[in-house]
Amino acid sequence: MSRHTRQAQFARALIELRSLVVDGSIPAGTRLTETAMAERLQLSRTPLRQAMDRLVDEGLLERIETGGCRVARFTMADILDAIEIRGVLEGTAARLAAERGISAERSAQMGDILAGLDTAVDPARFDFESYVRLNDDFHRLLPELSGSEIVAREVARASRLPAASPGAFMQGQELIPDFRTSLTRAQHQHRCIFEAILAREGTRAEALAREHARLARMNLEYITTQRPNLADRVPGLALVTE
């Protein structure tokens, strides 16, 4: 395997190890030995160690005092808290965007995304794929509207917490019928958040963005109570023990 891109082995280690952890291939609590994992992923310990450090930072692994690390365990409360934090930070980004104002260019970008989402949730030409992609775009652009690198980075970081990302519950076609009305509601919230930002209503923008994140909480509760067999479709949910 040659080095076509910068840090190819490290990138591969990070992606593959993260996959193994979030999809439950390696059960929560398992101790990871560097040598065995390096063997399994066909690379040396150096980039693997780097990847493990990173995953510890992301919260997917936890370090053992004596050395090495193990797959982290989460409670449902942890997931809810992670969603709460993402909501709080997205809310802050929305509030700052409203308070400081946004550029015409970004406003136009956001307008396009929202128009696309309107189409995607239109019952006549409902398009789940598009929705997922555009929803992602929305949540990637929103932090940038704050105009702050620092804020954007922290929102992105919070979105990496297990099962806290805006698209975490958008896997699996099986759930489309269940979520269809939820998506319409979500899109309405998208529009309201953007309007509040344009109207310079900081407090309202913040509250709306927080409430929007609660949709993820509702989806989580819906899945675990109504469709428990689909729970392992949500990345990170495999790590939940109680």
Partner DNA sequence: CGCCAGAATTTTGTATACAGGGCACGGCAG
Partner DNA sequence: CTGCCGTGCCCTGTATACAAAATTCTGGCG
The residues binding DNA (CB under 7 A) are: 2-3, 6-11, 32-36, 43-47, 49-50, 66-68
Q: How far is CA 100 from the centre of its chain?
A: 26
- Backbone phi and psi for residue 62, each to the nearest 5 degrees, phi listed first: -130, 145
Dist. CA 144–CA 106, nearest whole Å: 9
> In DSSP terms, which residues pair with 71 in a beta bridge?
61
Q: Are 172 and 230 in contact (CB under 8 A)?
A: yes
Minimal distance, residue 62 CB to DNA, in Å: 13
Q: Which does 22 bind (CB under 5 to 8 A by kind): DNA, a second copy, none?
A: none
Q: Which is nearer to a second copy, 74 or 131 (CB)?
A: 74
Dist. CA 127–CA 230, nearest whole Å: 21
Q: Which does 57 bind (CB under 5 to 8 A by kind): a second copy, DNA, none?
A: a second copy
Q: Which is nearer to a second copy, 46 or 226 (CB)?
A: 46
Minimal distance, residue 205 CB to a second copy, in Å: 14
Q: How far is CA 3 from the centre of its chain?
A: 29
Q: Which is nearer to a second copy, 3 or 125 (CB)?
A: 3
Q: Which is nearer to a second copy, 71 or 85 (CB)?
A: 85
Q: Which is nearer to DNA, 53 or 178 (CB)?
A: 53
Q: Which does 9 bind (CB under 5 to 8 A by kind): DNA, a second copy, none?
A: DNA
Per DSSP, the residues of 21-61 read HHTTSS-TTPEEPHHHHHHHHTS-HHHHHHHHHHHHHHTSE
Residues making contact with a second copy (CB under 8 A): 6, 46, 50, 53-54, 57, 59, 65-67, 77-78, 81-82, 84-85, 88-89, 92, 96, 148-151, 153-154, 157-158, 161
Q: Which helix (H) or strand (E) holds 70?
A: strand 69-71
